[in-house]
Chains A and B, each alone.
Chain A
């Protein structure tokens, strides 16, 4: 067994300014040129509202395979510093409906930019506890989960 982490992290030092790297995320035409797993995959940007609360929708096509559609909304946009957006794949993909969140940070390193992309499963229970009642909510939630676990056994 290799890893049990539920977080994907990619770091790269890029020979470009923070604003140039940020621009590659902020412009639909630029995004279409690179935001895909390989050159074999064609990306069509179906929606792109680069503002907090705005939605995006990307369609990925491979020569022989089903189209994969990814969509989400921008949660945080801080120019040349940080972008956070949700990420969910449409059915009938095997990973459809799994809510996750991508955090991109841009840090200056001399003339270069340290890019960090962190993609984590979005735990709705955790988020609700954080937003609503903090620790008390989390504990109640935990107790509830444990009781449910017993009920369903």
Chain B
């Protein structure tokens, strides 16, 4: 069962290009530090920190703190939930357009 608010948070978090890039960078499953992610995107550290907070709030990533180093790891569950919505509607419209094509081939409406 999805929570509408949780999906809202997920989609909001993913509505930003930099945050999507962070998710991609973490998609391999390995944890990365904020510094590594900042270098990766050539963005100022405070900017990356803000994006990481949004992602963390959406529970898309989880943070572990070792001394002064903050490491981030991707959480799969919210992405899977959001992915289910996307997959369902992708299948819906692909199927619908198939049928529209068939209808149009039968003759002009």
Digitize A111-153: 1 where CB-to-B-CB distance is under 8 Å, 0 elsewhere: 0000101010101011000000000000000000110111011
* B40: A residues at CB distance < 8 A: none
Residue in A3, A34, A96 whose CB lies within 8 Å of B86: A3
Q: Is the CB of B96 within 8 A of A20?
A: no
Count of A-B residue pairs with CB < 8 Å: 119
- CB neighbors of B among A13-44 (8 A): 14-17, 20-21, 23-24, 27, 30, 33-39
The docked-state distance in angstroms from the alpha carbon of A10 to that of B82 is 18
The docked-state distance in angstroms from the alpha carbon of A6 to that of B4 is 15
Please classify how large the interface on chain B is, using the bins under 10, 10 to 19, 20 to 34, 35 or more: 35 or more
Q: Is the CB of A27 within 8 A of B97?
A: no
The docked-state distance in angstroms from the alpha carbon of A148 to that of B8 is 15
Q: Is the CB of B101 within 8 A of A14?
A: yes
Q: Is the CB of B104 within 8 A of A20?
A: yes
Contact A24 to B89, CB < 8 A, known contacts A34-B96, A36-B95: no
Contact A95 to B2, CB < 8 A, known contacts A119-B93, A146-B54: yes
Q: Is the CB of B85 within 8 A of A10?
A: no
B78 to A: closest C-beta gap in Å: 10
Q: Is the CB of A10 within 8 A of B54?
A: no
| Dominant secondary structure of chain B at its interface with chain A | helix
A59 to B: closest C-beta gap in Å: 14
Centre residue among B4, B84, B101 by max chain A CB count within 10 A:
B101
- CB neighbors of A among B44-100 (8 A): 50, 53-54, 56-57, 74, 76, 79, 82-86, 88-97, 99-100
Closest Cβ neighbor of A96 among chain B residues: B4
Q: Is the CB of A4 within 8 A of B20?
A: yes
Which residues of chain A have a CB within 8 Å of any CB of chain B? 1-8, 10, 12, 14-17, 20-21, 23-24, 27, 30, 33-39, 94-98, 100, 115, 117, 119, 121, 123, 125-126, 145-146, 148-150, 152-153
Which residues of chain B have a CB within 8 Å of any CB of chain A? 1-2, 4, 7-8, 11-12, 14-15, 20, 23-24, 27, 50, 53-54, 56-57, 74, 76, 79, 82-86, 88-97, 99-105, 108-109
